[in-house]
């Protein structure tokens, strides 16, 4: 806690110094989080002088380590809020709920931006129930199926890519069973069908069954945990634990046949000794839903340079050269459609999977869904803790979902 407090003070002083400079020239402060990585920071730093040359607006990019949200809240409380931030959806809830970030919809509409230039999930997924656009999307963290093609062929199985429309819950479970193998006969599995399922993957299964954990994605008010689609997805997910089909570490390590992950995993496959590729998510009983997190930027409501901050955000997210630079630096799919559609031809210095179009297909699919934004972090941890008793076989799904639904509804009501 002392380290966080000290860092908060240091950052507040840095922002305060830049605020003084703003009185003598047009300058904004962009406070980025280290969670986006060094390549993200390098992209911002490359774009800042280009933007200044075009507009005359100087951008000071500050990167924050540690508890990003706490640092921002401290700066806001001290009256020295930065102008632009990189809040991610898992920590942005309190900022959006309390109106600490600017609604960008009026800027978007005023400048006549064309919403079709971004995938629907990138704009709609960043829009609250009351119509506030809380961030502009820059890149798409798109969950797809990564697989070891050599393992599938050795087992005589069609790969997820080859299955096409037949890549479903049923074929996923069948493949996981065939690909979980004790190679040396010692009674211990040496190879697993699927590396792991985290909370987000289970939530996606709920969507694929036609349900949702909540009444809405952003700042929900009611739990839908105790509903038939959630139970159906839970029972399906549970089979993988009951049958010992999960394990082996990351698929790039060569001991698991499949994993479900985002483009950030691509660097881990650069030097593997087997053929690998990606495919869209398997189809569930209702759809082929997949999580698409459109990361990007917001303006803090306390910014004293909102118009300049908006011009900077618009440049980062809606300029083709800037979006192409994002791809070259990070290897991540951009949110801006004119660049997204040629993603595979823009990437430099990194080998993409042969079927890299799966990232685009997933992003523009009508089944794409945004991760949940919840203002109380205790809700996620409660769901994780309770569901762990199901996956371990300690408790029955029906009783846990009923109890969890009641607990989460109480927590949501207390926060309203």
DSSP element (H, E) containing 291: strand 290-299
Residue labelled with tokens 């990232």: 359
What are phi and psi for residue 258, nearest 5 degrees? -145, 155
Virtual torsion, Cα 362, 365, 367, 372, nearest 10 deg: 60
Distance, in Å, from the CA atom of 163 to the CA atom of 204, rounded to the nearest integer, reads 20
- What is the three-class DSSP state of 192? strand
3 state DSSP class of 399: helix
Q: Where are the alpha helices (DSSP H) in 195-304?
A: 199-208, 228-242
The pair phi, psi for residue 155, each rounded to 5°, is -90, 0
Contact 57, 34 (CB under 8 A): no
What pLDDT is stored for residue 25 in this prediction?
59
Average of per-residue pLDDT across 15-36: 70
> What is the fold of 2-141+293-365?
D-Maltodextrin-Binding Protein; domain 2 (3.40.190)
Structure tokens at 87: 């809040």
CATH fold of 144-291+372-414: D-Maltodextrin-Binding Protein; domain 2 (3.40.190)
pTM of the predicted structure, to 2 decimals: 0.91
> How high does pLDDT run on average in the chain?
94
Closest to 309 (Cα-Cα) out of 324, 323, 298: 298
Given this model, what pLDDT does residue 416 score?
Answer: 74
Tokens of 292: 């698409």
Cα separation of 313 and 297, whole Å? 7
Task: Return the biggest CA–CA distance within the chain.
Answer: 75
- Token match 């985290």: residue? 198
User: Could you give the CA distance from residue 75 to residue 110 in angstroms, rounded to a whole number?
Assistant: 29
* pLDDT range class, residue 7, cuts 50, 70, 90: very low
Structural domain boundaries of the chain? 2-141+293-365, 144-291+372-414
What is the DSSP code string of 35-74? Answer: GG-HHHHHHHHHHHHHHHHHHS-EEEEEEE-S-HHHHHHH
| Cβ–Cβ under 8 Å, residues 263 and 333 | yes
Give the CA-trace dihedral at 213, 214, 217, 218, to 10 degrees.
-130
Would you place residue 326 in the very low, low, confident or very high pLDDT band (cuts 50, 70, 90)? Answer: very high
pLDDT digits (tens, 9 = 90+) for 45-60: 999 999 999 999 999 9
Count of Cβ atoms closer than 10 Å to residue 122 Cβ: 30
Q: For residue range 275-303, what is the model confidence (pLDDT) as tens digits?
A: 999 999 999 999 999 999 999 999 999 99
| Residue 23 scores a pLDDT above 60 | no
Q: Where does 49-172 show beta strands of DSSP type E?
A: 58-64, 84-85, 136-142, 144-148
**One fold for both 2-141+293-365 and 144-291+372-414?**
yes
Res 13: pLDDT:
43
| DSSP letters for 111-135 | TT--GGGS-HHHHHTTB-TTS-B--
Tell me the pLDDT tens digit for each residue of 211-247. Answer: 999 999 999 999 999 999 999 999 999 999 999 999 9
């Amino acid at each position: 806690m002392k380290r966080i407090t000290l860092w908060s003070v240091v950052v507040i002083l840095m922002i305060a110094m830049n605020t003084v400079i703003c009185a003598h020239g047009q300058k904004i402060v962009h406070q980025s989080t280290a969670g986006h990585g060094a390549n993200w920071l390098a992209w911002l730093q490359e774009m800042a002088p280009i933007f200044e040359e075009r507009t005359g607006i100087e951008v000071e990019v500050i990167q924050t380590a540690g508890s990003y949200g706490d640092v921002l809240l401290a700066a806001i409380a001290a009256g020295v809020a930065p102008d632009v931030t990189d809040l991610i959806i898992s920590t942005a809830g309190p900022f959006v709920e309390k109106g600490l970030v600017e609604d960008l919809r009026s800027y978007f509409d005023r400048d006549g931006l064309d919403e079709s230039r971004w995938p629907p999930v990138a704009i709609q997924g960043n829009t609250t129930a009351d119509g506030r656009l809380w961030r502009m999307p820059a890149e798409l963290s798109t969950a797809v199926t990564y697989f070891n093609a050599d393992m599938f062929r050795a087992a005589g199985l069609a790969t997820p890519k080859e299955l096409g429309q037949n890549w479903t819950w049923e074929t996923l479970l069948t493949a996981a069973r065939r690909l979980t193998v004790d190679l040396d006969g010692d009674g211990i599995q040496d190879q697993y069908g699927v590396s792991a399922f985290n909370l987000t993957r289970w939530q996606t299964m709920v969507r694929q069954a036609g349900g949702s954990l909540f009444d809405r994605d952003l700042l929900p008010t009611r739990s839908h945990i105790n509903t038939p689609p959630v139970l159906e997805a839970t029972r399906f997910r549970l089979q993988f634990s009951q049958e010992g089909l999960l394990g082996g570490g990351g698929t790039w390590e060569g001991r698991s046949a499949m994993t479900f992950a985002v483009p950030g995993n691509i660097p881990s496959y650069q030097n593997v000794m087997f053929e690998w590729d990606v495919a869209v998510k398997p189809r569930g009983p209702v759809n082929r839903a997949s999580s698409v997190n459109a990361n990007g930027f917001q303006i803090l409501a306390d910014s004293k340079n909102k118009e300049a901050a908006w011009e900077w955000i618009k440049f980062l997210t809606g300029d083709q050269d800037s979006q192409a630079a994002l791809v070259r630096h990070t290897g991540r799919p951009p949110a801006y459609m004119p660049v997204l559609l040629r993603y595979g031809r823009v990437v430099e210095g990194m080998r993409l999977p042969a079927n890299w179009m799966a990232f685009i297909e997933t992003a523009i699919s009508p089944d794409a869904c945004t991760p949940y934004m919840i203002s109380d972090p205790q809700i996620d941890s409660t769901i994780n803790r309770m569901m762990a008793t199901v996956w371990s076989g300690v408790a029955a799904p029906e009783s846990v979902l009923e109890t969890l639904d009641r607990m989460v509804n109480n927590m949501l009501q207390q926060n309203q």
